[in-house]
Structure 1
Amino acid sequence: MSEVSPFWSPVVGTLTPYVPGEQPKQAKLVKLNTNENPYPPSPQVLEAIQAATLTGLQLYPDPESTTLRQTIARHHGLQAEQVFVGNGSDEVLAHAFFAFFQQGGAPLLFADVTYSFYRVYCGLYGIPAQTVPLDEDMRLDVAAMVAPRAELPAGVVVANPNAPTGMGLPLEQIEQLLQAHPNRVVLVDEAYVDFGGASAVPLVARYPNLLVVHTLSKSRSLAGLRVGAAFGQRPLIDALERVKNSFNSYPLDRLAQAGAAAAYNDTAYFAQTVADVVDAREGLTLALEDLGFVVLPSQANFVFARHPRRDAAELAAALRGHGVLVRHFQKPERIAQFLRISIGTPQQCGVLVAALEAVLQSPAAAA
């Protein structure tokens, strides 16, 4: 950790930055630690990006990302004015936290076990965080989130399906959150929804306090392109645009806009890729259970699993020794014995299972 510099603004020394999953420099590792899609983008995406390189790079891109927003809107049955796009869903989330959740010191509600960037944004913007524990089954406790409070919260954020558990909420419970907090924004982060979750996008027309956030990093195989989107009624999108244009008027370059639009247009490739990941997830779940793991029911492109007789940190280290990367979270303590395992190709999942079989047979892996 670097020393505090006298040149820093006071808040900088108080920040606890987000720590992303490892992006290894070592070749030939089976990388199942950051929930990337194991399949490449649609060939149409690559063609669109290549075409975009041939002209116009000396000019700024469209600051409104008009064609991309129109394309995404058609896909979801929305109007382009109900769509916001940014440089990855993390940037979209950051703008949303700035735009909606700085409410005079009121606390923002989110789960105690969820995407850890939410707490980082709270620290960056000085938003108090009020976490709601997952229930005993590791599911989001909607009843606790809708319970009356003495103080009006700054808003509510839920990842649906949740990360890192992979479990999702039905739309009925999303509506409970929206109805319980009509005067605050309820942000539904749907990074993994295409792998089996129920999207809240159809609710946008009925709830002016709903903001839904998507990413192209997972189901559309574009983690390296950095494109995210938000959907909501016009006043919410207008707020995001005000923040964006006060920060960076050109967040998406020409290549990103072209590639992202092509990804939405190739619906057949998208459907096949998602189906392949879901099939591999179900097969991996069964294989892990055969090895004695407890696997939470997942609607995402990863599984969250623990072995009742093996320490998770030791398992993760041993797997790395076999050339397989998975994600282990030491905090919070209640998930310290879980591994989050991204879904790879059938071949990659086979390598993982073989490595686990070897590790579990070794007394060195015992807790």
Structure 2
Amino acid sequence: MSRFWSDHIHALQPYVPGEQPKQNLLKLNTNEHAYGPSPKVLEAIAAVTNDRLRLYPPYDSAALIAAIADLHQVGTDQVFLGNGSDEVLAHVFNTLFLRDNRPLLMPDITYSFYKTYCRFFGVPSELQPLADDYTITVSDYTRPRDVAPAAIIFANPNAPTGIALGLDDIAAIAQANPDSAIVVDEAYVDFGAQSAAALLGQYDNIVVIHTLSKSYALAGLRVGYALANPEVVAGLQRVKDSFNSYPLDTLAQAGALAAIQDRSYFDEKRAAIMQSREQLTAALRSLGFQVLPSKTNFVFARHEQVDAKHIHQALRDHGILVRHFNQPRIEQFLRITIGTPEQCATLLTALRDILSVQS
């Protein structure tokens, strides 16, 4: 606490990210890519690491925006860039969610940064409980309301559950709320789900958020973007340019462009991660875990007999870090990032050892 702080700082409750350990642990807690970026990314970054770094980066990020627009078959005026999807989300909250004190609807179990941003921006929210099987209940978002929501936001696939909603359900939500922004946060969509970008031509209220941190293995570069109708993008740009007129640095633009253009590497590693996910899911179930159906690069699992907090600590004692959420409804679940086959084998060996002691 400081007497120099602005008044509102005292009440803030910052987002707490997954642990970044300093010791040598097998890190399966923050859903980073198992294999690392394309070699072409490293070449592209090296090519611009020279005395031109004294110059400001391209203000309009034209080459990267064109590549993203081509990837999703949208216009360049439908792409908004930011320093990671969290910054893009911050601008979305500021641009679209502060409307006559109308509520923001979102699941009770989802990406916890949404609640942090609600507190930060003063956005009123209404939590809609997930069903008993941890799926989103679509009717909670389509039923008539006395006050229309300012917006609706959910991660798809959801985090930390990993469960994906189909495009028909997303379309139904958008159609039922024509005057509300429907923000679909697709950080993990490339691992087996369908992107709502396919609906942009039909629904002008859909906003799709993507990141290059997960499926492109660029968490260290901080690149995210939104896809939306041009008027929404113009509003996001107006807010961004009032905050920071240069969204991405030179290295990030070069690396992101190379990653998007190397489709063969992207497809190869994505397929490998999805294959490992299915193998790990089957192995965990054979050990007595319930594993929710995942379309992400992680699994969300709980053991039928052994407490999650105990398993979490025991894995750490074995040099393996996974994520435990100590919150209602999911306190018995562990979120486990899909590693390489060798890393998954190490995890399973440790779990067998831990569970054998409990039996």
Calculate the TM-score normalised by the size of structure 2. 0.99
Q: CA offsets, 1:136-188, max 9 Å, x none?
A: 11001111111111112110001100000000001000001101110011000
Residues 1:252 and 2:231 are matched in the alignment = no
Q: What's 1:97 paired with?
A: 93
Partner residue of 2:343 out of 345, 348, 363: 348
After TM superposition, give the deviation of residue 251 of structure 1 in Å: 2.2
Equivalents in 1 of 2:33, 2:129: separation in Å? 29
Partner residue of 1:106 out of 102, 107, 126: 102
Q: What's 2:61 paired with?
A: 65
Residues 1:17 and 2:14 are matched in the alignment = yes
Between the two proteins, what is the percent identity of the paired residues?
54
Q: CA offsets, 1:44-74, max 9 Å, x none?
A: 1010000011242001111221110001111
Q: CA offsets, 1:256-293, max 9 Å, x none?
A: 00000000000000000100000000000011001000
Unaligned runs of 5+ in 1: none
Q: What's 2:329 paired with?
A: 334
Equivalents in 1 of 2:196, 2:213: separation in Å? 19
- Partner AA of 2:52 in structure 1: G
Q: CA offsets, 1:19-56, max 9 Å, x none?
A: 000111102x1110000001110011010000011242
Equivalents in 1 of 2:176, 2:93: separation in Å? 20
Matches within 5 A, 1:250-289: 250-289=246-285
Equivalents in 2 of 1:136, 1:183: separation in Å? 30
Equivalents in 2 of 1:337, 1:300: separation in Å? 20
Q: What's 2:304 paired with?
A: 308
- Partner AA of 1:123 in structure 2: R
After TM superposition, give the deviation of residue 10 of structure 1 in Å: 1.9
Query: Counterpart of 1:120 in 2: which secondary structure?
Result: helix
Q: Which stretch has the larger CA shift, 141-150 or 230-239? A: 141-150
Equivalents in 1 of 2:53, 2:120: separation in Å? 33
Residues 1:299 and 2:295 are matched in the alignment = yes
Q: CA offsets, 1:214-244, max 9 Å, x none?
A: 0000000000010001001100100110111
Equivalents in 2 of 1:307, 1:202: separation in Å? 37
Equivalents in 1 of 2:333, 2:221: separation in Å? 30
Equivalents in 2 of 1:246, 1:335: separation in Å? 39
Query: Counterpart of 2:153 in 1: which secondary structure?
Result: strand
Matches within 5 A, 1:1-367: 3=1, 5-27=2-24, 29-331=25-327, 333-363=328-358
Equivalents in 2 of 1:104, 1:249: separation in Å? 28
Query: Counterpart of 1:16 in 2: which secondary structure?
Result: coil
Query: Counterpart of 2:246 in 1: which secondary structure?
Result: coil
Equivalents in 2 of 1:231, 1:144: separation in Å? 25
After TM superposition, give the deviation of residue 6 of structure 1 in Å: 2.5
Equivalents in 2 of 1:13, 1:145: separation in Å? 34
Equivalents in 2 of 1:184, 1:258: separation in Å? 35
Distance change (3 Å), C-alpha of 1:82 and 1:55: farther
Equivalents in 1 of 2:131, 2:73: separation in Å? 34
- Partner AA of 2:324 in structure 1: H
Query: Counterpart of 1:282 in 2: which secondary structure?
Result: helix
Equivalents in 1 of 2:58, 2:9: separation in Å? 33
Runs of 4+ in 1 over 3 A off after TM superposition: none
Query: Counterpart of 1:214 in 2: which secondary structure?
Result: strand
Equivalents in 1 of 2:124, 2:11: separation in Å? 14
Query: Counterpart of 1:56 in 2: which secondary structure?
Result: helix
- Partner AA of 1:140 in structure 2: I
After TM superposition, give the deviation of residue 81 of structure 1 in Å: 1.1
Query: Counterpart of 1:11 in 2: which secondary structure?
Result: helix
Equivalents in 2 of 1:284, 1:316: separation in Å? 17
Equivalents in 2 of 1:314, 1:249: separation in Å? 47
Q: Which stretch has the larger CA shift, 50-59 or 231-240? A: 50-59
- Partner AA of 1:219 in structure 2: S
RMSD: 0.9
Query: Counterpart of 2:53 in 1: which secondary structure?
Result: coil
Count of matched residue positions in the alignment of Structure 1 and Structure 2? 359
After TM superposition, give the deviation of residue 106 of structure 1 in Å: 1.2
After TM superposition, give the deviation of residue 119 of structure 1 in Å: 0.4
